[in-house]
Amino acid sequence: MLARAERYRDSWRLRIPPDPGETRRIERWLATARVFLAISTLVAIRMDPTELGHSWAAYGLFVFYLANGILILMLLRRREQSTAAFRLLVHAGDIVWPALISVFAEGPRTPFFLFFFFVLAAAAYRWGLWETLGTAAAEVALLWIEAFILGIVRLHTGAALAWSTFTGLRVNLREFDPQRLFMLSIYLIVMGLLLGYLAEQQKHLRAEKAVVNRILSRVRVEAGLTGTMQQIFSEAMSMYGASRLVVAAQEAKSHRIFIGELNKAQNGAPAEFQWRDSPPRDAKNYLEDFPGDVSYASSRKNGWQIVALDAEGKPAAGDAAPIQRLQEGEPFQSLITMAFLFGTEWRGRVFLFNPSWRGERQEELRFLLTLVRQIGPAIYNVYLLHRLRRRAGAAERARVARELHDGAVQSLIAVEMQVDVVRRQAEADKPIGGELGRIQGLLREEVIKLRELMQQMKAIDVDAQRLLGVLHDTVERFQRETGINARFVTDVEVLDMPQRICREVLRIVQEGLVNIRKHSGARHALVRLGSSPQQWNLTIEDDGKGFPFAGRMTLEQMDEMGKGPMIIKDRVRLLGGKLTVESNPGHGTRLEVTIPRGGDVPHEL
């Protein structure tokens, strides 16, 4: 047990600085337990005063202990953090107190023996194995010193009774009993060992959790895949003191091999993580035949010493051949390997060259298995999101190109043809005013289309405080640019809409106005935003020619028939809302959107 705990202490994970907030919480819990223990003891003494031999000094000591516990609790509640010196001073008082109260009590046969266990538990809770054993040794030393002193006093006073008066106090001048003290010392040492070992195990688990959380915090979507891997691998190199890190990954479909490497710069900080394409033959050097899912290999005079674990954390057979093959191209003395698998698309292995740690090998490798299982999906999610963003960007660029080709480019070709007609008419001295008017109208139309396209491409930064003003400006600009009489009305004074829903509402209004200009032939348009305790209500209506159907249709009905505004339907579906379209051919259209207050929209890609 001691050897295993010592290996835990040598682990790099236990060198993590303690969390000040957790330290403060521990001290508060201990202070509360101290006060509760003092109150319980006073109640026990009240029920049976003979436990202390009716000693008023003992009563005073217990009252002092209670007051001390309350003072410590008040200080911890008022102070922002607990210093090491303060914790050490409090713990020293807790060590002295059990030995002091045992002067007035009957030893282990009294409930006051709980004070010995409390101070051991406090040491285990605060620190670990060796501090708890040190506390037990200090208690044992104090008990032996106390026994010698009281034995000498008993001999000199010649007291014959179990309880005698000494300097005005009723003190237990019991006869010196080495066997009893020896057994009590064994109890305390064994209890300190047990509590300390359990505390060391808990400390070990907390440290692992802190490491995983710290590495997961390095995952940044905005940093991209390479930036995220640089952060995570830099942390891994720092933890294990490796001189170099290499990651080899193979794509399942193309079988291409990608090699990434990270070296330590001259100042000791990791350099920039870089990828490079590698020939297929590198698959055997980096990916094939390595022992286990995680392994550690170190060079010895008689060959390689290998410790390997499979995916379930069980020991696996170790073959030195792949390690020797890898060493031919990259000299090293020790090596850690970790295999990973990202879905069905990527497989690979991470190599840490010349790592240094003093912890127990299999325990470290089991932790690396856990680390890969928790960090791997986070990296894979960054990769998937990065790929989705690329695809979304490509789709958006294709849409913009299509809009420009079908709109602006075609219109410019038409303008060129009409300009050629005007030039010929001018050469023939024919009237050209009508043709110039048509060219001007066509150019005005394309300017409006390009502005709408720019608005759709522009990133929206709008929240509940700005949404009403932005909607009013959008409708007003629509009226100014198109000549369609448009208004925005609302009965909402204070809007409490989440920001992401605000963005979608603005997009719906923009798309609705674009559809009115393009397809309705309307002279009037109205945008209305309302609110109720359960939902928000958005209405867009016009007096144009309407949809090619009559009556009211829901979102589901329009999906079945393949009708309705596609973009608006997608955005309403994203919000978890409801869409109703009321069409009256020749008289106009009314779109009603209801958005539940409990709804939300995922982050945009």
Q: Which pLDDT score, from 0 to 100, does residue 163 have?
A: 43
- DSSP labels, 346-387: EEEEEEEES----S-HHHHHHHHHHHHHHHHHHHHHHHHHHH
Q: What is the CATH number of the domain that holds 358?
A: 3.30.450.40
In a domain, 172, yes or no: yes
Q: Which pLDDT score, from 0 to 100, does residue 490 have?
A: 92
Residues 88, 159 share a domain: yes
Residues 26, 155 share a domain: yes
Tokens matching residue 352: 């840490």
In a domain, 448, yes or no: no
Residues 597, 525 share a domain: yes
Band of the pLDDT at 412, cuts 50, 70, 90? low
Q: Which residues, in sequence order, are CB contacts of 405 under 8 Å at separation 6+?
A: none
Name the 3-class secondary structure at 254: coil
In a domain, 277, yes or no: yes
Bridge partners of 217, per DSSP, are none
Residues 329, 201 share a domain: no
pTM for this prediction: 0.53
Domain total of the chain: 3
Angle at 111 between CA 59 and CA 134, to 5 degrees: 100
Last residue of a domain, one of 215, 244, 267: 215
In a domain, 26, yes or no: yes
In a domain, 434, yes or no: no
Band of the pLDDT at 165, cuts 50, 70, 90? very low
Q: What is the tens place of the pLDDT at every residue in 287-343?
A: 777 888 888 888 887 788 888 888 888 888 877 888 888 887 778 888 898 888 887
Residues 275, 188 share a domain: no
Q: Which pLDDT score, from 0 to 100, does residue 162 have?
A: 43
Residues 291, 195 share a domain: no
Residues 590, 490 share a domain: yes
- Which of 64-68, 193-197, 269-273 has the lowest average pLDDT? 269-273
Could you tell me the CA-to-CA distances from 481 to 306, 475, 486, 487, 517 in Å, in that order?
75, 10, 11, 14, 10
Q: Which pLDDT score, from 0 to 100, does residue 332 have?
A: 86
pLDDT over threshold 70, residue 400: no
Q: What is the tens place of the pLDDT at every residue in 473-499?
A: 889 988 887 888 999 999 888 888 888
In a domain, 400, yes or no: no
In a domain, 435, yes or no: no
Domain of 68?
Answer: 2-215
pLDDT over threshold 50, residue 48: yes
Q: What is the tens place of the pLDDT at every residue in 226-243?
A: 788 888 888 888 888 888
